[in-house]
Amino acid sequence: MTETQTVPTSAIDPDVTSGVAQFLGLVVIDLTALAVDGKQAHWHVRGANFQAVHELLDSVVDHAHDYADTAAERVVALGLPLDVRVQTVAAKATTPQLTPGFQPSDIVIAEIIAHIDAALATVRTAVEELAALDPVSQDVAIEIARGLEKDRWFLFAHISEK
């Protein structure tokens, strides 16, 4: 018969892990909303620069999925679950609503930038709050912020006058 050993899920204080889950959980929710709405925008963008924006939105969606996965895996690695079901995302996301239907590329870009800005606000809160709680989790949030800021820059370049 094989002997089973129990291994603690995390060596980090339970209060720290619940704080990490609180802040990174909200990041995962906003990034999931960004991914879903980014795909909606991807399907409905119109205009002279359709192909470039259409493909860029796919990158934004892929990045949002990757960032959400990284944040979620950090929480789960610390031994706590997340609730990122569709109903939860719809109820808790801080991202604005996307205009339904076909839209010109400048409108789509502005709306996705607003989504990124909302997600960045949540990420920046996580960066600030996690500094004292858990530097490793803070590093996850910092990397996500860096990536979102780059995606924002790429989108903004399409509508910038200068």
**Cβ atoms 77, 135 nearer than 8 A:** no
The backbone torsions φ and ψ at residue 35, rounded to the nearest 5 degrees and listed phi first, read -65, -45
Considering only CA atoms, which of 63, 26, 28, 68 is closest in space to residue 42?
A: 63
Where do we find the tokens 């609730």? 83
How high is the pLDDT of residue 16?
87
Structural domain includes residue 135: yes
How high is the pLDDT of residue 24?
98
CATH number, domain of 97, equals: 1.20.1260.10
Task: Record the pTM.
Answer: 0.91
How high is the pLDDT of residue 14?
81
**Measured torsion, CA atoms of residues 86, 90, 94, 98, in degrees rounded to the nearest 10:** 100
Structural domain includes residue 5: no
If one counts the domains in the chain, the total is 1
Q: Residue 26 corresponds to which tokens in the numbers above?
A: 């909200």
How high is the pLDDT of residue 9?
55
Structural domain includes residue 23: yes
Structural domain includes residue 1: no
Structural domain includes residue 2: no
Structural domain includes residue 72: yes
How high is the pLDDT of residue 126?
98
N-terminal to C-terminal alpha carbon distance within the chain? 71
Structural domain includes residue 6: no
CA distance 47 to 70: 34
Length of the chain: 162
Structural domain includes residue 140: yes
12 DSSP 8-state letter: S
The backbone torsions φ and ψ at residue 160, rounded to the nearest 5 degrees and listed phi first, read -70, 140
How high is the pLDDT of residue 162?
78
Residue 71: give the domain boundaries: 14-157
How high is the pLDDT of residue 7?
40
Q: In tens digits, what is the pLDDT along the chain, a chain of 162 residues?
A: 556 444 455 567 888 899 999 999 999 999 999 999 999 999 999 998 999 999 999 999 999 999 999 999 999 999 899 999 999 999 999 999 999 999 999 999 999 999 999 999 999 999 999 999 999 999 999 999 999 999 999 999 999 887
Q: Residue 79 corresponds to which tokens in the numbers above?
A: 């031994």
How high is the pLDDT of residue 2?
57
